[in-house]
Amino acid sequence: MSGGYIVGVNTGSHDASAALVRDGRIISLIEQERISRRKRAVNESPRDAIRTCLMDAGIELSDVSCVAVGWDMPKYFALEGRGFPVDVFRKRIGVPREIPIHFYGHHLAHAASAFWTSGWDRATVIVTDGRGEDAATTTYLAEADTFKRLAQWDLAESLGRYYSKASSWSGLGPADVGKFMGLAAYGEPRMAMPIEVTPDGYRLAGAERVPNRTMPELREALNASVTPYFSACFPYGEGDGVEIMAYADFAASVQSSLEAALSSLVTAAVGETGCAQVVLAGGVAMNCTANGKLARHPSVAELYVPPFAYDCGVAVGAALLAAKDSGLAGVSTANGRVGAYLGRDHSARIAEVAESAPLAGQRLSESDLAACVAEHLAAGRLVGWYQGRAEVGQRALGARSILADPRRRTMVGRLNQVKGRELWRPLAPSVLAEDRDRVFTHDLGDLGHYMLGATHVRDGVRPLMPATVHVDGTARPQYVRRDRTPRYYDVIESFRDMTGTPAVLNTSFNLAGEPIVCSPEDALSTFMRSGLDVLVLGDHVLERTGQESAAG
């Protein structure tokens, strides 16, 4: 392989994505769903995401030295008992034969995406998800440009599949694990679950570690482990989503057992590596409740989870692995903490969209913009907030957000109704980084910059921001820094100075079943179809005309 540009892709059954890397440095990460507007891009090719990466960089596919895939597709197909149709695959992702394709193990790509964006030169890495090719959990010692595999668990003991099956059992869908995690806060962990902690990490009760099993056999082994436990829990049968609160204790029990498994994995892995800098990746690493507890784990000095820890991130990992294999030195230190703002920047089109919108509008200076938005929030208005380059990942981080007043508990029901979400689901606060110790009992470190950890809100602060405090007294905060999102920082600072409340409510700018908005056209369309009151596109503030606002 030659150096220069490399495209990395995720081509799994969900979260298709493409990353562009040049000389070992990440230029962009584009999620297919943001382009196709179909949430999680289920069974979609990353073709549009690839095209977008190239277009935004001003290059052609012919300028790329190779395409790197975050799955070992030949191995995956072989494990499923099928041959890999490489020409069909090339056609599906739009890559001609003259461009080399390199395949990387799914868990290795996860590990690379997380460790090589951690800024550390040594770490204990834990990857856990639904499945890779033949693994569901893998632990590594990562040093510079190398990964030493320590231990591995197969599909029969998949923590990701275990959790998604529990979500389905409760009456939510297998992909609704975030909702299921939120439900757990309403219950108590009273029920027995099949997770057993062991000296090397965990095991599922009744699971036998038999080599060379087929994928159907592994799936059936997992079902055989979990179903007797689930069916023994009140209300003793699978739910349909109608009486979801009846499954709160069940959800709490599943969540508690997951946390026990992860805690044991960390203890065992750090005990073997001797390295207390811990990196998590894979879909299970998006469980912010578990992450918040792991951040305080006695074996953990620092915990890092990238904002793209789930499958979209293997596009980054595969591209960086290909850069390393090309002979490029220093891949491990090329990126440091890259942050979340790796998506598209449509700033050049904002003025045109704002000026053509059927809304009353004004364009404001930086200082006036912050004060204006803070005033709207304080008056109880819901604000669609669209700025600069998009964040990547499942959390809105002040680039594509809906903002509201956290002082009004009624905002929880109102916002969830506007977005079409279940009314019991929690909402999150954005807090200035320098105020975090004032607001929260524990500092989440880097997790707090990406809304990837939960921590308790101090008793004296809870009455100031009740709309962002979950029923268990926790919140999933974002720490906001001026150097990363200066306009968003100024809004929160203005709101704090105006009201005395050190936070604003922040949720993703989308409606139920839709991806987070990407373009200003997406933002305008979503605004017009919702009950939001104010739309901010860059420095343009737009409001509805000819009708009473949703704030009344």
Nearest Cα to 531, choosing from 422, 414, 421, 407? 414
Give the Å distances, CA to CA, from 295 to 6, 31, 138, 348, 476: 34, 28, 19, 40, 13
N residues, the chain = 552
CA atoms within 13 A on the CB side of 422: 16
Buried b (16+ CB within 10 A) or exposed e, 96-121: eeeeebbbbbbbbbbbbbbbbbbbbe
Choice among 14, 110, 346, 470 that is catalytic: 14
Nearest Cα to 142, choosing from 170, 163, 114? 114
Q: Which residues contact 154 (CB under 8 A, 6 or more apart)?
A: 134, 135, 136, 209, 213, 218
Helix (H) / strand (E) element for 150: namely strand 146-153
Residues linked to residue 17 through DSSP beta bridges, in sequence order:
10, 31
Integer Cα distance of 177 and 14 in angstroms:
14
Integer Cα distance of 140 and 107 in angstroms:
10
Helix (H) / strand (E) element for 256: namely helix 248-273
Helix (H, G, I), strand (E, B) or coil at 147: strand
Helix (H, G, I), strand (E, B) or coil at 48: helix
Whether residue 74 contacts residue 11, with contact meaning beta carbons closer than 8 Å, is answered with no
Amino acid identity at 395: R
For every residue of 90-128, DSSP letters joined together read HHHHT--TTS-EEE--HHHHHHHHHHTTT--SEEEEEEE
376 is catalytic: no
Integer Cα distance of 471 and 90 in angstroms:
49
Residues that are catalytic: 14
